[in-house]
Structure 1
Amino acid sequence: MATKEECREALGRLSDNLTRADGDVRAATALDRSLSCHITDLDVTFTGRLRGGAIEVADDHAGPPREKAAIRLAMTGDDLVAMVDGRLNFGRAWASGRVRLEAGFRDLMRLRSLL
C-alpha cells in the first residue's frame, strides 16, 4: 500500500508531467480551479489548485474533503502511483470506477481529453 508521502510525491510528478505536456492535454489542464484528491485507503485528502497546467498541493488532512473543490478526485494510493508511473490508464480506471472524477460539466468537457 502506498504511503501518504508516496502519494504526495506522485502528485508532484503528475504536476511535472502536466507542465511538460503539449497539445490537447496542455489545453485541458490550463485551468485555475480548486482541486482535491481523496486517497481512499489512507483516508487522507490532498487539497490545492490546478493552475496553468500544474497541480499546487497546498495541504493535506485526514478524512474526506472538508470543502467541495471544483475538481474532485478519489482513488487508492496504489492507483494514484500506478497512474503516474504509467502502469494504469486513467480512462480505463475511471470507466471501471477505480478512479472517481467529479467536476462541473464545462470542466469535465475540457478534461475529457485526459481520458
Structure 2
Amino acid sequence: MATMEECRAALVKLSDNLSGANKDVRSAVALDRSLSCHLTDLDTTLTGRLAEGRIEVLDASPGPPREKAQVRLAMTGDDLVAMVGGELNFAKAWASGRVKLEAGFRDMLRLRTLL
C-alpha cells in the first residue's frame, strides 16, 4: 500500500507534469479551482487548489472530504502513484470505477483534454 509521503510526492510530480505539458493540456488545467483527492485506502483527503496549471496541496485530513471541492477525486493511494508513474491509464481507471472524478459540467468539458 502506498504511503502518505508517496501520495504527496505523486501529486507534486503530477503538478510538475501538468506545468510542463503541451498547450492543450495546459489550457485544460488553467483553471482556478478547489481540489480534493480522497485516498480511500488511507482514509485521508488531501485538499488544495488547481491554479495556473499547478496543483498545490494545502491540507490533509482524516476521512472523506469535509467540504465539497470544485474538482473531486477519489481513489486508492496505489492507483494515484500508478497513474502518475504511467502504469495506470486514467481514462480506463475512471471508466472502470477505480478512480472517481466529479466536477461541474464546464470543468469536465475542459478536463476532458486530460483523458
Alignment partners' CA distance in 2, 1:27 and 1:91 = 19
What's the Cα RMSD here? 0.5
1:78-93 map, 5 Å? 78-93=78-93
- Secondary structure of 2:24's match? helix
Shift of residue 24, structure 1, vs aligned partner = 1.5
Alignment partners' CA distance in 1, 2:90 and 2:78 = 13
1:35 match: 35
1:73 match: 73
Q: Does 2:43 align with 1:6?
A: no
Alignment partners' CA distance in 2, 1:61 and 1:7 = 14
TM-score (norm 2): 0.99
Shift of residue 23, structure 1, vs aligned partner = 2.1
- Secondary structure of 2:37's match? strand
Task: List per-residue Cα deviations over 1:36-69 (Å, max 9, x = no partner).
Answer: 0000000000000000000000000100000000
Shift of residue 25, structure 1, vs aligned partner = 0.8
**Percent of aligned positions that are identical:** 74
TM-score (norm 1): 0.99
2:101 match: 101
- Deviant stretches of 4+, over 4 Å: none
Alignment partners' CA distance in 2, 1:50 and 1:20 = 15
Alignment partners' CA distance in 1, 2:40 and 2:6 = 14
- Secondary structure of 2:72's match? strand
Alignment partners' CA distance in 2, 1:13 and 1:81 = 10
Provide structure 2 residue ranges, at least 5 long, that are not aligned to the other structure.
Answer: none
